[in-house]
Amino acid sequence: MMKIEGEKINLRNVDVSDFTKIIEWHQNQLLTYLAGKRLPKNIDECNERYLKKSLLNHILAIEDKSGNFLGEIEISHIQWKEKMAELFMYIGEENLWGKGYGTEALSVFINYIFNTKGFKTIYLRVYENNKRAIRCYEKCGFKKKGILKFKNQKIHSDNLILMETSANILKNKKS
């Protein structure tokens, strides 16, 4: 079983025992809006998302040091030749948002992806109105690359910001 350790979080494989919590989090409308359609709503969807092996994505659970399951972090759309992938992350417990768990999980995961797995570029999409997530991503070295505007949407803040970081940015940040 894989385990990557940080100061206040660990990253590990998602376990069947996490499914109940994931399904429970699907009931949070704000979380499901921010996460898009990735949050499974039943056991079958959990089995499909977490137990099916794929070369194009890798999902890890985020847990605190007491072993409490907090959320997940994933790279998907992996392009092995270019060493590039898309990142997705969430903390499921709304009362833990803004407490630094996401920032540390992202920092630990990016370090692993670049330094252990040899990736060169990680990108993500985030809603323009998700200021907390944008601050987290910027703290971890992501830069805004562009914006996808949805003119026909009733809510202008449904616009998506494309952000990116690279192994070079991470190395320069440490210097």
pLDDT digits (tens, 9 = 90+) for 124-147: 999 888 899 999 999 999 999 988
- Element of type H or E holding 172: helix 167-174
pLDDT at 158 over 80: no
**Structural domains in the chain, sorted by start:** 3-174 (3.40.630.30)
Instruction: Please name the amino acid found at residue 157.
Output: S
Tokens encoding 90 = 């969430």
pLDDT tens-place string over residues 85-117: 999 999 998 899 999 999 999 999 999 999 999
pLDDT at 40 over 50: yes
Do 37 and 44 form a contact (C-beta atoms < 8 A)? no
Q: Closest Cα partner for 61 from 3, 135, 140, 139?
A: 3
pTM: 0.87
CA 107 – CA 75 distance, rounded (Å): 14
- CB atoms near residue 82 (< 10 Å): 10
CA 66 – CA 87 distance, rounded (Å): 25
Confidence at residue 129, expressed as pLDDT on a 0 to 100 scale: 85
pLDDT at 156 over 50: no
CA 30 – CA 36 distance, rounded (Å): 10
pLDDT at 155 over 80: no
Length of the chain: 175
Q: Mean pLDDT for the chain?
A: 88
Confidence at residue 118, expressed as pLDDT on a 0 to 100 scale: 93
